[in-house]
Structures are given as structure tokens and as C-alpha cells.
Amino acid sequence: MTDPVIDVRGVTRRYGEGPPALHDVSLTVRPGECVAVLGPSGSGKSTLLNLLAALDRPDAGTVTVAGTRLERLGEAASARFRRAHVGLVFQFFNLLDDLTVLDNVLLPAQLAGAPARASRAHAASLLDSLGMARHAQAYPGRLSGGERQRVAVARALINRPALLLADEPTGALDTASGEDVRRLLDELHRSGQTIVLVTHDLRLAEASAGRTIRLRDGRVEVRR
């Protein structure tokens, strides 16, 4: 049996006083799985995703992603971990306005010091496969929401990550664009990409995810 891509055990994350944002959460994700995290606003979904991306550290419990224990990583190590193993897609795209589409996509490869030629070729093929090739030299400001999210996905995939994390990828999109992104993620899943996506879009969860997890007040509510 293959090792899981994600192995979260008994994780608690607390911001200041009050009830923790995550409370004793455990989760395992195997290679090639697509897991949807569902739950109402404020239930701790983004917090969980941040922990998986090593953007944040748990107060208790362990987080292992792609064989790396994340809870003890320093800043530089977590940055290196991210660019090696994780691709991130956000609700509001988070593209850099002053870089072209192509430069946005290339950025993680450049930060990782990947060979320029190979990265360019890979970026071009990603944009091509996402139908964005003709916008390579455009600036994100000119693109529609759906197009921007495609660029964001391309950027997330440039370093061939073991894990794609998406936080409400359709949350800022109209129905048609949302459908677009849904199909894209589904295709990625079919091609074998491991994905964890946070959403309250039930259609997205059903369309792409093989499995769903529900969070409520920081606890895993139902497992199905």
C-alpha cells in the first residue's frame, strides 16, 4: 500500500482566546485522491488548508505532507517545501498585477531555480492545455474571473506538485466560469493529480471529489 500524501493527526489550531479554529482534526489523503472540505463560513476550512500548505503551524498534533513533517519547519524550509510539493489556488486568484500571465505562471519555477527553457516550455504547454495560450502576454487585470482562475491553476501546477490545494476556487466566479473551473479540476483529478479543495459549492464537491469532509466549529462532523 502506498504512503498517504497527507497525514494529519490530532491537529488543533487556536487564534488567541476563545474556541480553537481547529480542534483535534485528523485526516488522511492517498495519492490521486480528490478530497473536498465542506463547511459553513468560519468553520476552519482555510485554517486547515493553511496548515497543509505550511503557511501556518498547528498548536498541537502533526501534519505530514508528501513525507515532510510540517509542524516544525522554519520559514525558509516551508517555502522550499511549498515550491517543491504544493500548488495553491485561491478564491481571489492572487495573481500579481504587474506581471504578465506567462510571468505569473513562471514565478514559482523561477523561485525554485528551475532551468529557464524547460520551465518556459512547461508553462506554455500548461497555458495551452488550459486554453490560455493566446493570453500569455496579457496582464491579469484584463482577464475575466474564470480566465484568471485558469492562470492561477497553471501557476499552481508549474512545479508539478504532489498536492494541489484550492481554497474556494469557484467562490468568486459566476456560474459559467465556475463550471469551467469545476471541469478543469475534474480533468486534473482524472489525470491522477492529488487535490484537496475547500468549498461550500456542493456541485463542485460532487463533480470532482471522490470524498468529502465536513467541518463545523473546527471539528470534523461527518465522514462519508
Ligand X SMILES: Nc1ncnc2c1ncn2[C@@H]1O[C@H](COP(=O)(O)OP(=O)(O)O)[C@@H](O)[C@H]1O
Picked from ligand X, Mg ion, other proteins, none, the partner binding residue 43 (CB below 5 to 8 A depending on kind) is ligand X
Residue 87 in contact with ligand X, rule: CB under 6 A: no
Most distant pair of Cα atoms in the chain: their distance: 51
Helices (H), the chain: 45-52, 75-85, 101-111, 116-129, 145-157, 175-190, 202-208
Residue 117 in contact with other proteins, rule: CB under 8 A: no
Cβ 40 to ligand X shortest distance, Å: 7
Residue 82 in contact with other proteins, rule: CB under 8 A: yes
Instruction: Tell me the C-alpha to C-alpha distance, in Å, between residue 152 and each of 16, 60, 114, 196.
Output: 32, 32, 19, 16
Nearer Cβ to ligand X (21/63):
21
- What order do you get walking across the sheet with 6-13 strand by strand? 22-29, 6-13, 60-65, 68-69
For Mg ion (CB under 5 A), the number of binding residues is: 1
Residue 212 in contact with Mg ion, rule: CB under 5 A: no
Contacting residue, 21, 90, 101, 122, with other proteins by CB under 8 A: 90
For 165, other C-beta atoms within 10 Å of its C-beta total: 27
Q: What is the signed CA dihedral for 128, 156, 196, 160, rounded to 10 degrees? A: 80
Cβ 66 to ligand X shortest distance, Å: 22
Residues that bind other proteins (CB under 8 A): 50, 53, 55-56, 75-76, 79-80, 82-84, 88, 90, 94-100, 103, 106-108, 110-113, 139-141, 155, 159
